[in-house]
Structure 1
Amino acid sequence: MTVLPSATPPAKSLTDLDHRIEAAVGYNIDHLWKHHDRGLLDEPLSRLAEAHRGLSDAERGVTFHRVLLHRLASGEIPMDQRLITRIERVVGQLKATTETRDARQAQAVAALEPVEAAAPAPTALEGPELTAPEFAALLAISQGANLHQHLQTGRLSVITASTTRLPHTVFQRLEAAGLVTRDTSRPIHAGQPISLSEEGRTTVTGGARRDPVPTAVAAPSVGSWPTPARSHR
């Protein structure tokens, strides 16, 4: 029986540049790809969409070979010379796909930088503009947090020092506003440390000073005796 290829396109793999791209263009990666497919983008954005698509494809190849290597070395398959030969072959393929991924990431960065330079600088959020969950997330991140990507599903999550899992959408808003930063020199699968930016620290300390608002104390009238302090027993 002939098996027809699926009409469903392969799922996109997340990349280390997704947040920067979304912050620069003002919408998510799905919309960027759709606009490119419909020919709605100008030349700089079109180059960026093409470069990101190539990077995503390369990232998917890296993930495939990494998961395959993990399965081969997990102990599920009896260890023999054939398995060792296969592991060595997969390691070589993983190295090649990683080199391809790194080259395509450099191309994507080169396409992204002009778009970032032309984009308006994001306006940092102030304390009153943050919702309660966002401010709570900012406080939690101030104690330490990491951004992780699941090895197989590619799903991103933020884990704080207290092992609390924060909604990724909240983290994206805080990052786009310039309130938090992450160490992109480390691979996202191993966890990228997140810290507050200068604006984020100001927001946290300013919010602490504003909440609660102190109640005004009425000044004593001229000629009146001061109210004695209430004793506590």
Structure 2
Amino acid sequence: MSTCSTVTRAPSGRVAARDAAEENLIAALEPVEAEARTATKAASAELDPAQAAALLAIAGGAKLHEHLLTGRLSVATASGTRLTHSQYRQLEAAGLVDRDTSHPLRAGQPVALTDTGRAALAKSRRRTTPATPAAPRPGTWPTTARPGR
């Protein structure tokens, strides 16, 4: 009976460099993969009418403001629509909107649609046209029958 023994050696310089590069690559790709998972979930979910309206309002321009006296957060859009902070958080958690945090919150942080948000808004706005028009009910105007004169 022969026994096979495995000899372990200390990693050479090339192997150690390769392993370090692999760890760096994995660490760099983790946020990208997490964002892709979030984008896939957000894109696959259907928007309800309130979310679609909020995205449409944000698409025209919006800012997240903090009220000076109460400290409440809300999103004011260019069309005059106001969104509550909870509505904004839902859209942000779904990966549909993002804000520019380089501006102070009291001055207003610009809010914009992400690529996922634009795609979801475009998908929700598509209208499906029926293949055949609905048949008119008998006795409704305009009639398709010709007068018999």
TM range (shorter): 0.5 to 0.7
Give runs of aligned pairs for residues 95-114 of structure 1, distance below 5 A.
none
Q: TM-score scaled to structure 2, two decimals?
A: 0.59
* Mapped contact 2:92–2:98 kept (Cα < 8 A): yes
Aligned-residue sequence identity (percent) comes to 51
Match in the other structure for 1:24? none
Structure 2 CA distance, aligned partners of 1:127 and 1:206?
A: 10
Structure 2 CA distance, aligned partners of 1:167 and 1:196?
A: 17
Match in the other structure for 2:80? 163
Is residue 144 of structure 1 aligned with residue 61 of structure 2?
yes
Is residue 197 of structure 1 aligned with residue 139 of structure 2?
no
Is residue 215 of structure 1 aligned with residue 130 of structure 2?
yes
- Gapped runs of 5+ residues in structure 1? 1-115, 219-229
User: C-alpha root-mean-square deviation of aligned residues, in Å?
Assistant: 2.5
Match in the other structure for 2:38? 123
SS of equivalent to 2:52: helix
Pair 214,129 (structure 1): closer, same or farther in 2 beyond 3 Å: same
- Gapped runs of 5+ residues in structure 2? 1-29, 134-143, 145-149
Give runs of aligned pairs for residues 76-87 of structure 1, distance below 5 A.
none
Q: TM-score scaled to structure 1, two decimals?
A: 0.39
Structure 2 CA distance, aligned partners of 1:208 and 1:129?
A: 11
Q: Which has the higher strand share?
A: 2
**Bigger CA radius of gyration:** 2
Structure 2 CA distance, aligned partners of 1:126 and 1:185?
A: 27
| Deviation at residue 127 of structure 1 after TM alignment | 7.1
Q: Which has the higher helix share?
A: 1
SS of equivalent to 2:38: coil
| Deviation at residue 164 of structure 1 after TM alignment | 1.2
* Mapped contact 1:127–1:204 kept (Cα < 8 A): no
Higher relative contact order (CA 8 A, sep 6+): 2
Is residue 206 of structure 1 aligned with residue 123 of structure 2?
yes
* Mapped contact 2:63–2:111 kept (Cα < 8 A): yes
* Mapped contact 1:158–1:168 kept (Cα < 8 A): yes
- Report the number of matched residues: 101
